[in-house]
Amino acid sequence: MNPKVDWFFTKATKWQGEYEELRALALDCGLTEELKWGCPCYTFQNSNIVLIHGFKDYCALLFMKGALLKDTEGILVQQTENVQASRQIRFTRTQDIVKNEFILKAYIREAIEVEKAGLRVMLKKTTEYNMPEELKNALKDIPELKTAFEALTPGRQRGYLLYFSSTKQSKTRKARIEKCFQKILNGKGLDDK
């Protein structure tokens, strides 16, 4: 146990029993406990394997390369359609974790083997994402915006593409694009300050 991670467990007002069970499971598999992204993260030879996190309706064990696991039990969940690599196993009761300890440890061991083998999730390239017409037009009409957008990292470009494409109305897409002009010109991602 890493004392730097203890605060996550002590501050928890929900899922405390579930978190403790998941922590014991991960540590029992020989993983190193670290604090990353404000959550307990369990690593093997400095590579992230699983993360414990919680939400309003469930807590989860998130497998960083879950897309590469066999999922023989059919329990892995893709958080959203845009999540490419990670997969979750969700819990609402401590009993479900205890009852499935053997299965959960098998998934963790498989994730370790995926990491040992050096397997990588084949991620979609930025060019494979849909670029809304409104953004195409803005990039064509404003050359400095096009230059700035192309200079962004692929991850920042994808963030904008997903954000702009997630609305149904053209008017809303245009408003979002206009609102983000300055951030793009400043080389910032959607969530950058």
Q: Over the stretch 95-120, which tens digit does the pLDDT of each residue have?
A: 999 999 999 999 999 999 999 999 99
Q: Kindly report the backbone phi and psi dihedral angles of residue 140, in degrees, each rounded to the nearest multiple of 5, phi listed first.
A: -75, -40
Q: Describe the crossing of helices 170-185 and 154-165 by its angle, rounded to 10 degrees.
A: 160
Alpha carbons 163 and 173: distance in angstroms, whole number: 9
Mean pLDDT to the nearest integer, 8-37? 94
Helices (H) and strands (E) counted in the chain, each on its own, are: 8, 5
Give per-residue pLDDT as tens, 131-186: 999 999 999 999 999 999 999 998 899 889 989 988 899 999 999 999 999 999 99
Q: Residue 22 has what DSSP assignment?
A: H
Q: What is the per-residue pLDDT for 118? A: 95
For Cα atoms 46, 51, 52, give the angle at the middle one, nearest 5 degrees: 145
Q: 82 and 52 in one domain?
A: yes
Q: 111 and 26 in one domain?
A: yes
Does 140 fall in a domain?
Answer: yes
pLDDT at 128 over 90: no
pLDDT at 88 over 90: yes
Does 176 fall in a domain?
Answer: yes
Q: What is the per-residue pLDDT for 15? A: 95
**What's the total number of domains in the chain?**
2
Q: What is the per-residue pLDDT for 76? A: 97
Q: 111 and 47 in one domain?
A: yes
Tokens representing 176 are 């979002």
Mean pLDDT to the nearest integer, 10-34? 94
Q: What is the per-residue pLDDT for 39? A: 94
74, 92, 116 - which closes a domain? 116
pLDDT at 2 over 90: no
> Partners of 60 in the beta sheet?
53, 90
pTM confidence score? 0.76
Q: What is the per-residue pLDDT for 30? A: 95
Residue 77's domain comprises: 3-116
94, 116, 138 - which closes a domain? 116
